[in-house]
Structure 1
Amino acid sequence: MTVKSAAVRVASVVFLATAAYAAVPGALARSASTTTEDAAAAATVTALVADDPERALSSLPADFAAVMGYAPIVEQWADGTTVLADPEGDCSTPVPLPAAFESACRVHDLGYDLLRYAHTTGGELGTDARRDLDGLFARHLDTVCRSEPEITSCTPVAGISSAAVQFNSWRQGHRTPVAESPWALAVAAGSVALGFTARKVRR
């Protein structure tokens, strides 16, 4: 698969997704929370973003498993990197992504669940937390591509994926993640990929 075809593959879903997406109102950006942030959830996010799974695990809110329904696990990557992740997380997108991205997606899922936990328990975190988690996701995908260069078109697909996630966070005001159809991300991914393809054509 060429770099261009990888982008086109992602972009192709936008035309089918747009009609369905337009029929479902996007999550409206909510005003900044006036509540006090949950200190344990904030500390866990900070440790997660710092790639410190031991500190993240020790900072985890005591009732996280009871509230969210699972206990995070530590995973080790081929390059020796250790991360704390949602054991049941995945890359929830209608566009197939490299299997090597799955662990990065599970870490990102845990991060988003920490945001949901804090919101549910009355200590919603500020907008920087979601921005930092999206940045972590982008860095993790870059790590995967650098450690596994044999993955076809890894870097452009990683760029499209992380940009789509960041676009969706912007749509939701960088507040607590709102459950939506995967087609919402498909529209974001398609829009990013179309821009990527246009740049390639102009060169």
Structure 2
Amino acid sequence: MKADVAPLGQSVDGHPRAGRGARWNGLRRIGVLAAAATVACSAGVAFAPAAGAAITGPTVPENGAARNGILESVAAQPDPATIPEDFATTAGYRPVVEAGMLLNPNGNCSSPVPLPAEFDLACKSHDLGYDLLRYAAAHGQPLGPWARQTVDAALERRMHAACDARENPVSRAQCQVMASIAATAVDLNSIRQDYGDPIYEPFFESTGSTPSPATLTLSAIGLAVGLTVATTVLVRRTRTGRTASPAPAYSTPRPVAVKL
């Protein structure tokens, strides 16, 4: 009985076999498409206008007391005496200094996913900054976009600095990833509200067709994961192409003449 032997690169029925390169191409296409879809969805959600987005109008003088309070809240050695005297009446608390940060003692990190405990003080200081923005708006003298951008930037910087205190490299890297995701979610929501007065929105609720802040956070996470998947697939594919050695050439053996 004669066994069926397929030529190299073909199945017994004559059709070409799917090689490793074809499988990698398929994975690369899937990764790129997933990342592209994630980016498209995240961008659509991120730039959807909020119901309370700032509307351009006549320029009014900024509230000087709130301006000084914002600058002091991001300083290395803040002075709580710079906070407006009537701030406690509006916000319901007096800011305190803790670990070198001027913050809202009742603040917290609002997130649909657990964040590292090291971010707690940075979040509380961020809450104070937003309350100062609301204070200025309540007095009819809102601060410009620079103020919210400054508060958001301080949050990102402080979260990453908190991660640096971790000794384990893997744990530190994980913390840094979470800091970047949280900062991205905050930035997207600020863009959505046109860097104006922070509008209270229940975190898991949507208003009409407006996506909730929780959706923005999850979109930021999806964006990061999608880009990571695409980058990983492309890097692996590139490395495989560089290290793969050429396949040996096969030739049909010539018949050997046998002398009888």
Q: Is 2:140 the partner of 1:127?
A: no
Question: Once the two structures are aligned, what percentage of the paired residues are identical?
Answer: 37
* Contact 1:41–1:59 (Cα < 8 Å) also in 2: no
- Distance in 2 (CA, whole Å) between partners of 1:164 and 1:88 is 22
Q: Is 2:78 the partner of 1:53?
A: yes
Q: Is 2:219 the partner of 1:201?
A: no
**2:70 maps to amino acid:** V
**1:189 maps to amino acid:** T
- Distance in 1 (CA, whole Å) between partners of 2:143 and 2:180 is 26
- Distance in 1 (CA, whole Å) between partners of 2:57 and 2:145 is 8
Q: What is the RMSD of the two structures over their aligned residues, measured on CA atoms?
A: 2.1
Match runs of 1:10-21 below 5 Å: none
Aligned to 2:116: 98
- Distance in 1 (CA, whole Å) between partners of 2:61 and 2:167 is 44
* Contact 2:73–2:103 (Cα < 8 Å) also in 1: no
Aligned to 1:109: 127
- Distance in 2 (CA, whole Å) between partners of 1:127 and 1:160 is 22
Q: Is 2:135 the partner of 1:142?
A: no
Q: 2:180 aligns with which of 132, 140, 159?
A: 159
Cα deviation digits, residues 54-101 of structure 1 (max 9, x gap): 2xx12211111112110001111xxxxx10100000001221111111
Q: 1:34 aligns with which of 37, 46, 59?
A: 59
Sort the Cα spacing of 1:189 and 1:47 in 2 relative to 1 into closer, same or farther, 3 A.
same
Unaligned runs of 5+ in 2: 1-37, 205-211, 233-260
- Residue 196 of structure 1, CA deviation: 1.2
* Contact 2:74–2:101 (Cα < 8 Å) also in 1: no
- Residue 199 of structure 1, CA deviation: 1.9
Q: Is 2:206 the partner of 1:178?
A: no
* Contact 1:33–1:124 (Cα < 8 Å) also in 2: no
- Distance in 1 (CA, whole Å) between partners of 2:129 and 2:186 is 13
- Residue 31 of structure 1, CA deviation: 1.8
The count of corresponding residues between Structure 1 and Structure 2 is 176
Unaligned runs of 5+ in 1: 1-10, 77-81
DSSP-derived class of the 1:182 partner: coil
TM-score by length of 1: 0.80
* Contact 2:67–2:143 (Cα < 8 Å) also in 1: yes
- Residue 29 of structure 1, CA deviation: 3.2
**1:154 maps to amino acid:** C
The structure whose Rg is larger is 2
Aligned to 1:43: 68
Which protein is richer in helix relative to its size? 1
- Residue 146 of structure 1, CA deviation: 0.7
- Residue 149 of structure 1, CA deviation: 4.4
Q: Is 2:91 the partner of 1:68?
A: yes
